[in-house]
């Protein structure tokens, strides 16, 4: 645990209007960046409580527990907020793959 | 280069309204996630052209070349888009530190 501050005092900034915070998911073991999704306060609390990732789908307007359909659950190892508390980084043990295409990571399209 | 598709055909989704795409910055060598910022089409084109990162500041409403003030430039090594082309991942050689607080990464606040 980082000893520089009291993590319970971190006040997260859940978006300018939409109530969502972008959340980077990184593989705890390989450090590969797996995906980015959005959390509402409710999905963030569920994530902390269950130690599995829960997101808020902007297209379906609903909470989703990653892996509930596919079985590819993400077990939460560490959660960090950034310097201005408007982004989260969560390190996970990824069961199976992260991407709905079947790729390990959603970032498989190389531009440069 | 990923040979599965023609990267010139990737059509990025620059946001629902604000014209911005969230961009994860990762250290090319250590794989540490350094920061998340937002790119407009213009800053993305400048990033590709100059091989340094350019972002769009939502608070100042202006383009910024990361490092122009601090000297902590980010040299672009690789750029990826995600499966639905609405997030970017850029791997960089970070000169100095990424965070304005002086930390290497902006994600230094551990919650769990």
Answer whether A28's CB lies under 8 Å from A93's CB. Answer: yes
Answer whether A64's CB lies under 8 Å from A54's CB. Answer: yes
> B26 to chain A nearest CA, in Å?
8
Q: Which residues pair with A56 in a beta bridge?
A: A63
Answer whether A107's CB lies under 8 Å from B6's CB. Answer: no
Residues B20-49 have pLDDT tens digits of: 999 999 999 999 999 999 999 999 999 999
Give the closest residue to B47 by CA, choosing from B23, B71, B69, B30.
Answer: B23
Token representation of residue A92? 């996970």
Residues A56-66 have pLDDT tens digits of: 999 899 999 99
Coil, strand or helix: which one is B9? helix
Q: What is the DSSP letter of A44?
A: H
> A109 vs B7: CB contact, 8 Å cut-off?
yes
Model-wide pTM > 0.90: yes
Give the closest residue to A111 by CA, choosing from B77, B31, B111.
Answer: B77
What pLDDT shows up at residue B10? 84
Question: Does residue B46 sit at the A interface (CB-CB below 8 Å)?
Answer: no
> A108 vs B2: CB contact, 8 Å cut-off?
yes
What pLDDT shows up at residue A54? 98
> A109 to chain B nearest CA, in Å?
5
Coil, strand or helix: which one is B39? strand
Interface of B with A in 48-107 (CB under 8 A): 48, 58, 76, 78-85, 87-89, 99-101, 103, 106-107
């Amino acid at each position: 645990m980082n000893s520089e501050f009291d993590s319970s005092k971190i006040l997260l900034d859940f978006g300018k209007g939409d109530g969502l915070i972008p959340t980077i998911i990184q593989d705890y073991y390989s450090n590969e960046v797996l995906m980015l999704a959005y959390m509402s306060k409710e999905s963030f609390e569920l994530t902390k409580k269950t130690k599995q990732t829960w997101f808020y789908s902007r297209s379906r307007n609903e909470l989703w527990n990653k892996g509930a359909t596919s079985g590819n659950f993400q077990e939460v190892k560490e959660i960090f907020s950034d310097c201005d508390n408007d982004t989260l980084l969560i390190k996970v043990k990824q069961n199976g793959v992260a991407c709905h295409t079947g790729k390990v990571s959603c970032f498989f399209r190389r531009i440069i």
